Amino acid sequence: MHKYTLGIRSLEVSALGFGCMGLSRGYGPTTDTQRIAESQWTEPFTMATDTRSSAALPALMALCLSVGAMFSLTTQAAEAPKSMTTPQTTGQALSSKQQTIPLIAAFMATSDMPNLNAALNQGLDAGLTISETREILVQLYAYVGFPRSLNALNELMTVVQARKQHGIEDAPGREPSQAIPVGDELLAAGTANQTKISGDPVKGPVFEFAPVINRFLQTHLFGDIFERDNLDWRSRELATVGALAATPGVEPQLRAHMAASLRVGLSAAQLGEVTEQLKKHEDAQTAERANAALKEVLAASKK
């Protein structure tokens, strides 16, 4: 049995004896690393303790064994590399509804109507409302063009009608609940949205060369479209990432929107799920572009 040396007199005690001494009373509260280890091991060890108790061990002995073994596990965790003991703030996994958004966007961007039809059905089955799905297809005209947007909207109409004929009544969802500003107020709102999503005020040689393009971005894309609150920003970025990943030659914009996705609250793990979904349901090149963009963004964030 492993032993521990205590105090300046080098008193040696076993894990069993140490467990009976009362850690929190004699030595104060545990460190953060110990708490992390305890949270990782409490449930399986409780199951083991229950088994010992059911084998007729005395209650005090079972308690001492549990505390002593817990200390042993905690010590091992504390001595492990930091990367193993620090919890990862990856957030929750994408919902089934969120998982369908990049797929809908990718198939729309490539005008793959059979797969778009299947993805639209999957999204509606997962809980996307008609309004949310329609909004995804409307927004993406700004990234992949009016023709693809119009064709995709026509496909959505076909899907909804076919589902009705089969007795499926999809939730209509809601229209935007706030009035879209106009004039200077629209420009101000769009500029504020653009800055939040981009991380800084957008500027550069291309906007100096053609300032009107940034004004269109601010007033229309980030103003008229992003002010519509019937689709949240995370969903909008998931759609944009999916569409840009499926579009060769726009890797700089894809990287920008991977970074924007992190700013609006999506986690690196969730974006990793996006690449996996694209790999599973789309072509390999689309998934590879998404994966490469995510890796570059994460690497840049560590510098």
The pLDDT tens digits of the residues spanning 103-154 come to: 999 999 999 999 999 999 999 999 999 999 999 999 999 999 999 999 999 9
The pLDDT tens digits of the residues spanning 247-303 come to: 999 999 999 999 999 999 999 999 999 999 999 997 899 999 999 999 999 999 988
Nearest C-alpha neighbor of 124 from the set 147, 103, 145, 106: 103
DSSP secondary structure letters along 107-150: HHHTT-HHHHHHHHHHHHHHT--HHHHHHHHHHTHHHH-HHHHH
DSSP secondary structure letters along 155-222: HHHHHHHHHHHTT---------SSPPP-HHHHHHHHHHHHHHHHSS----HHHHH-HHHHHHIIIIII
Cα first-last separation, the chain: 46
Nearest C-alpha neighbor of 13 from the set 61, 72, 60: 72
Q: Is the pTM of this model over 0.85?
A: no
Beta bridge mates, 12? 5
Beta bridge mates, 31? none
Exposed, middle or buried by CB within 10 Å (0-12, 13-18, 19+), for 41?
A: middle
Sequence ranges of the domains in the chain: 3-85, 96-175+230-301
Cα separation of 94 and 100, whole Å?
Answer: 10
For the chain, the average pLDDT equals: 79
Nearest C-alpha neighbor of 104 from the set 142, 69, 61, 133: 133
Cα separation of 243 and 103, whole Å?
Answer: 8
Residue 235 pLDDT more than 60? yes
Residue 8 pLDDT more than 50? no
**The tokens of 199 are what?**
């991380």
Residue 22 pLDDT more than 90? no
Place domain 96-175+230-301 in its CATH homologous superfamily: AhpD-like (1.20.1290.10)
